[in-house]
Structure 1
Amino acid sequence: MTSVVVSGSSRGRGAQPAMHKTAVEILAQPRQWREVLALARARAAAMRPLLERPVAIVGAGSSYYVGLAAAAYLEERLAIPARAVPASVYRPHPGEGALFISRSGTTTEVLEAARAARAAGVPTLSVTCEPDSLLAQMCDASVVLAFIREESVVQTGSATGAFLLLRAVAHELSGGAPLESLATELEQTLARPVEPDEPFAHLVVLGSGWRYGLACEAALKAQEMALLWTERYVPLEYRHGPISCADAETLVFVLDPPDEAVQRLAADVEQTGARVVVGARDPLVELVRLQRLALAMSLRRGLDPDRPRHLVRSVVL
């Protein structure tokens, strides 16, 4: 019998200091999510034409990982072909729309991709936090999350907000259940201590389908803030080689539901000495939990999460 830690337990008593900008921005997400959900209801009809055809979701860094999650989610909910593409390698496809994601709307690769789409006559939509950005001006339409104002280098609410917007629009267009409970679920999660509170040096985040993009984004937060060695995989792929690196310094966090296959995988991973956490909340809520964990590990390691080394807020070349 495996002793998997399930998200939501009372274990862990880590404190989350609020003096860092990154911490403040992480904690602001319940309010932001409520505004995102209202915006999704207001803009879903206008976004419908782009989301009734094949679509490429284009971004860089966190925005690309949001695209990975969103493309899988749109395919699942709307039954349209959707692909996520790093902006640096985007090429327009005939008959396909393009959705560009960028917090600042200034990332060089994203702007170059938008120019390529416009030159090819591709219908374009941007999701950004900056209403006056060049990206917003270049696209046929733009959805602006102007209420998400991040000063930090590391994206938190801007990334979860962009994914939640597309997820909520997909629900609006497909007649799916409302997502209003997510903000409350996140609020309750953020009121709990950060867990697990034991130190680790190696983070593996596992997720399948749309959860894989969230796993990539969660691992990126730990790299950016805490300089941790991170990996991300589809859960059952972890047995096929990567598990050889697991040891007592490893935390494996699973975003997929705790079904029988995940429970068996968790038992196998624990045999390596690694610690396993299987999330019990919505995967997007668990992503925010992992943002907090990355922040806590950054502080534990004596780093400044507001100033991650070698990084800037927007990559402008």
Structure 2
Amino acid sequence: MTTSIMAREAASSPSVIRAQLASNRETCEALGERFRQQPPRAIMMIGRGTSDHAGVFAKYLFEVGCGVPVIAAAPSVAGVFEATLNLEGCVAVVISQSGRSPDILHQVKLAKAGGAYCVALVNDTTSPLTEMADAVLPLHAGKEKAVAATKSYLATLSALCQLYACWKPDAALKEALDGLPDCMQKAQEAGPRLRAEDLSGIAHCVVLGRGFGYAIAREIALKLKEVLGIHAEAFSSAEFLHGPVTLVEKKLCVINVSLDDETASFHTSQLADIAQRGARVTDISLSTGTHKRLQPLVIMQRFYLDIEQVAQEMGLDPDTPPGLKKVTETV
């Protein structure tokens, strides 16, 4: 079995993040000082697909840690309705691997017109987004050739964590970030958490997490759709009990994302209820040995390698999912 580009890119994440943290430290400290001196009244996240899922992670990070409301931009507000929002005193955090998607660039233009201070997390620093932003946190992920993003997503989460740790400031998280690449490397060397037999005959499934676990559940569900062609939807485990739980009566496949953080007791109780109703539960969590806010990155590191292997065993090409391309142009 050949090693795919996706697998090689996912495996490079620890070295990518190690270099990124060193390169961005000064910029993050400066932004942290700025936000302490001029606390934003709100943060608007701008991104699509995988970048939008990173924005959900940012919502929990900045709302829980900094007490600042975080909203997700609705792309059609700018792209279709051409509405300029009043964003005076707000920060727009723009996430884009390419920095070239026309709809993202248009949103940034209108956000700045509305008074927002724009921070771009972008991989391609030669892109138009770099020129438009007020501040740039390069992802330093290098060229990403596989259509399914892996290292750029993980680099986005680490950049968000470093920015938060410098803004708070959070000395424990800063220290843990230094050890993150080693924890991710250990996750690569651990055994798989998701196997082909777990998904054998599966056409539909749900991915359940809570809080930061829900944030990465969204990315996991996207990859199940992109890479394996499995219809997967992400839910907060609490939200799933408000209606969708009726689906488990048909032995629905549930991918469980558990974290050892503030959500653990709530999520565990809810998953026990769901399993008792007849769900077929596969737990992809693993012991990470790191700061609770960094656990999702370690879990995603293992997941990316697992889903690539599952794709190969199913006879699928994980590098070029049908109907997809690296830069998607929408309005």
TM-score, length-normalised on structure 1? Answer: 0.86
**Mapping of residues 222-261 of structure 1, within 5 Å:** 222-246=224-248, 248=251, 250-257=253-260, 259-261=264-266
Q: CA deviation at 1:86?
A: 4.2
**Mapping of residues 26-175 of structure 1, within 5 Å:** 26-48=10-32, 49=34, 52-53=39-40, 54-89=42-77, 91-92=84-85, 93-175=87-169
2:216 alignment partner, one of 203, 214, 237? 214
Number of the residue aligned with 2:198:
199
Number of the residue aligned with 1:267:
272
Moved more, 246-255 or 66-75: 246-255
Number of the residue aligned with 2:187:
189
* Cα-to-partner distance string for 1:25-57 (whole Å, 9 max, x where unaligned): 111111112123223422113323357312211
Q: CA deviation at 1:153?
A: 0.9
Q: CA deviation at 1:273?
A: 4.6
2:319 alignment partner, one of 298, 306, 312? 306
Number of the residue aligned with 1:8:
none
Runs of 5+ unmatched residues, structure 1: 1-16
Q: CA deviation at 1:60?
A: 0.8
* Cα-to-partner distance string for 1:144-189 (whole Å, 9 max, x where unaligned): 2234321111111111111211111211222311222222111111
Q: Aligned residues, how many? A: 301
Higher share in helix: 2
Number of the residue aligned with 2:292:
none
Q: CA deviation at 1:18?
A: 5.8
RMSD: 2.2
Does the 8 Å CA contact 2:210/2:238 hold for their aligned counterparts? no
Q: 1:262 to 1:118 in 2, by over 3 A?
A: closer
Does the 8 Å CA contact 1:207/1:234 hold for their aligned counterparts? yes
In 1, Cα distance between the equivalents of 2:205 and 2:308?
Answer: 13
* Aligned: 1:285 with 2:290: no
Q: 1:184 to 1:108 in 2, by over 3 A?
A: same
TM-score, length-normalised on structure 2? Answer: 0.83
* Cα-to-partner distance string for 1:72-100 (whole Å, 9 max, x where unaligned): 20122222222222444455333212111
Q: 1:173 to 1:261 in 2, by over 3 A?
A: closer
Q: 1:129 to 1:264 in 2, by over 3 A?
A: same
In 1, Cα distance between the equivalents of 2:181 and 2:115?
Answer: 38
Q: Kindly, what percent of the aligned residue pairs are identical?
A: 25
Number of the residue aligned with 1:9:
none
2:7 alignment partner, one of 16, 23, 29? 23
* Cα-to-partner distance string for 1:263-305 (whole Å, 9 max, x where unaligned): 3333333331502316243122112222223222322322111
In 2, Cα distance between the equivalents of 1:260 and 1:99?
Answer: 32
Amino acid at match of 2:18: R
Amino acid at match of 1:104: S
Does the 8 Å CA contact 2:193/2:306 hold for their aligned counterparts? yes
Does the 8 Å CA contact 2:90/2:116 hold for their aligned counterparts? yes
* Cα-to-partner distance string for 1:206-253 (whole Å, 9 max, x where unaligned): 223333222111111111111112121111222333233335561422
SS in 2 for 1:112: helix
Q: CA deviation at 1:58?
A: 0.6
